[in-house]
Amino acid sequence: MTWIETKEFLDFKVDQYNTPAFIEDDPIQIPHRFSKKEDIEIIGFLIATIAWGNRKMILKSGERLLNIFGNSPFDFVMEYKTDKTYYFDSFVHRTFNSIDLAYFVQALQNIYIHHLGMEKIFTKYALNDSLQTSISEFKKIFFELPHPKRTQKHISDPLKNSAAKRINMFLRWMVRNDSKGVDFGLWKSLHASQLSCPLDIHSGTIARKFGLLNRKQNDAKAVKELDIELRRMDPLDPVKYDFALFGLGVYNEL
């Protein structure tokens, strides 16, 4: 395909996948059950954090999180006391366990009390064309309290060459607003033009097939390379192509 043909095809696939039907099998369905901004942020962040592996298992773990929080994530986080870790005793999703969840809740409480919420942090450190520095700074703030060393691995740092797929996906959920009913567009202080593609095995494989990505590793350097190509296609909303790349990969359409 020529570059124009590739763009037209991917635009078509964006329209195909970026619909409410996408929500049915995707982890984003969990935060879509809420209407309050803080509830959506908190459960969205946690679901994105555990979003690796089988999607059915991710959704099952999401249901367990909702049961723990009594379907009120923000109220639970703000009322949480550190002597109540028994709430999390039965929770485990792959390598993310009750120890990690207990700290995540404590850290989120600290962020809402002392940093005025997640959006404020990401906005403070945002660059005009990227949120990758914001992710790195967010991680520093997230782990500013005493914490188990093991828990640090659950938030990636793109400045240490991680693709940071899950947190880039969370940012897409929070920032993009195209009225299609999938992404929330809650964070008005940031713009879709600043987002980076949540690069994983599916989107990476398809991006390479279309010549949008040459680097073999799915790391921060690959994200930057893909950013350049997607911004050529749509400088205002480059990450809309995540729907096409991910959809083509996960549904084996090529």
224 closest CA partner among 153, 166, 149, 168: 168
Identity of residue 212: L
Q: Rounded mean pLDDT of the chain? A: 96
Q: What pLDDT, in 10s, does the model give residues 60-118?
A: 999 999 999 999 999 999 999 999 999 999 899 999 999 999 999 999 999 999 999 99
Q: How far apart are CA 106 and CA 144, in angstroms?
A: 11
Structure tokens at 130: 């990227």
Q: Please report, for residues 18, 78, 106, 146, 147, the alpha-carbon distance to residue 81 in angstroms, rounded to integers and kept in the order given.
A: 40, 9, 8, 15, 15
Predicted TM-score (pTM) of the model is 0.96
Q: What pLDDT, in 10s, does the model give residues 46-55?
A: 999 999 888 8
**Which backbone phi and psi does 128 adopt, to 5 degrees?**
-60, -30
Q: For the chain, which residues make up each domain, given as ranges?
A: 3-250
